[in-house]
Amino acid sequence: MKTVFIQIGKYSLMVLVLIFVFCLYVFAVGSSESPTEVTAVRSEREDNVAGLSDRIIVNISHLSTLQKSLDGKPLVLFINGLPLTDSPALSVDTLRGEVQFVLKRTEITKATWNLLIGKPKAFTKVVTVSVGLKDGTPIPCKENNLTFVVIRTWQFGIFFLSLLIFLFVIFLLYRKTDLLRGLPEQMPPVGKKVFSLALSQMLFWTVLVMGAYVFIWATTGDIDTVTDSILILMGISSATALGARVIDTTSTGTPVTPELSSGSFWKDILKGTTDYEPHRLQIVAWTLVLGIVFLCTVWADLTMPSFNGTLLTLMGISSGTYLGFKMKE
């Protein structure tokens, strides 16, 4: 009888050991479950290639568990660790583990996009895409999981070709016609007419603004990019050209005898009737300075600059001073 109890005790101990091992196994399997993370990023055009205005799909493991922990707070997109707070998820499919977003640049997220795609050095840029709460941190993901299209090839091709044709046409008009010269004469002059500073300034801003507008469209797809300050700046240059034309005519509307060109563009726009004039140098200098600032801003931020009122007033004063002195030339 004693032997029977010993055998039962041995079997019971073995069963308890097996149960304990089984419990350890179940605990180990449960604890080894993979964490919530981004497993893939896809887009409508290709698996991992997308640009602005494209829809992307972010695959997330254990999405249903993540949704329960959010307490109804929306997921937002993160690119290179930067939150796009104005880009909430369009749809969330917990069964498939998919979250859809649209890559868009708004006024709220413009600064973030400037950091991501400003100063473009190539047509594409490899980035890291994740999701999370807008005031939190992104969930873990594989690095460099999306190729972002910074500049759309076909749009840039149109921009580059159009710009070359436009500049070539202007060059031909500059060489063959009086596009940048003074008023038409009643009698043919012995030489060529002097280059007009006011007309040159107006053409300068026209080329810069048109080129920048098409470049921003080719890069971001935005078409509403012309700012109020740019309109004012172009208005100042146009008013300056119009005022110079009025001054160059008599009260009866008969053109004044035209001055002959020195043969040099820069000499013509910097000299008056006698010698180099400070007021001409002033308007040329400020036009070039603002032009450089304009180009640097477009390249860095992919937006038209917004010049403050002080700079616009300064440009207006320079133009007014030029017209005032021109009346005495």
Q: Give domain limits for the chain.
A: 38-149, 153-326
Whole-number mean pLDDT of the chain?
Answer: 78
Q: Helices 153-176 & 197-220, crossing angle to 10 degrees?
A: 170
So what's the pLDDT on residue 26? 45
So what's the pLDDT on residue 191? 59
Q: Under CATH, to which class is 38-149 assigned?
A: mainly beta
List for the chain the helix, strand, coil content (%; round to 5).
50, 15, 35
Sheet hosting strand 91-93, strand order edge to edge: 38-43, 55-60, 98-102, 91-93
So what's the pLDDT on residue 209? 92
Question: Residue written as tokens 């922990």?
Answer: 69
3-state secondary structure of 201: helix
Element (H, E) at 267: helix 265-270
Cross-strand partners of 195: 181
Q: How far apart are CA 77 and CA 170, in angstroms?
A: 45
Burial class (CB in 10 A: 0-12, 13-18, 19+), 66: buried
Question: Residue written as tokens 């990023």?
Answer: 41
Tokens of 151: 């500049």
Tokens of 54: 């494209």
For residue 119, what are the contacts with CB-CB under 8 A and spacing of at least 6? 299, 300
So what's the pLDDT on residue 208? 92
Task: List, for residues 68-106, the tens digit of each pLDDT value.
Answer: 777 778 888 999 888 888 878 888 888 888 889 988 888
So what's the pLDDT on residue 329? 59
Number of H helices, E strands in the chain: 9, 10
Cross-strand partners of 285: none
Q: Classify the phi-psi angles of 136: left when phi > 0, otherwise alpha if psi is within -120 to 50, otherwise beta.
A: beta
Element (H, E) at 4: helix 2-31
Tokens of 308: 């403050």
pLDDT digits (tens), the chain, 329 positions? 555 445 555 555 565 555 655 555 444 444 444 577 888 888 877 667 888 888 888 888 888 888 777 777 888 899 988 888 887 888 888 888 888 998 888 878 888 888 888 888 888 888 998 988 878 888 888 888 888 888 878 888 888 888 889 889 988 888 887 777 766 554 445 557 778 888 888 889 999 998 898 888 877 777 888 888 899 988 988 888 888 877 777 544 555 555 666 677 888 788 765 667 788 888 888 889 999 999 998 888 888 888 888 888 888 888 888 777 777 65
Task: List, for residues 132-185, the tens digit of each pLDDT value.
Answer: 887 888 888 888 888 888 887 888 888 888 888 988 998 888 888 777 776 655
3-state secondary structure of 61: coil
3-state secondary structure of 91: strand
Element (H, E) at 147: strand 146-149
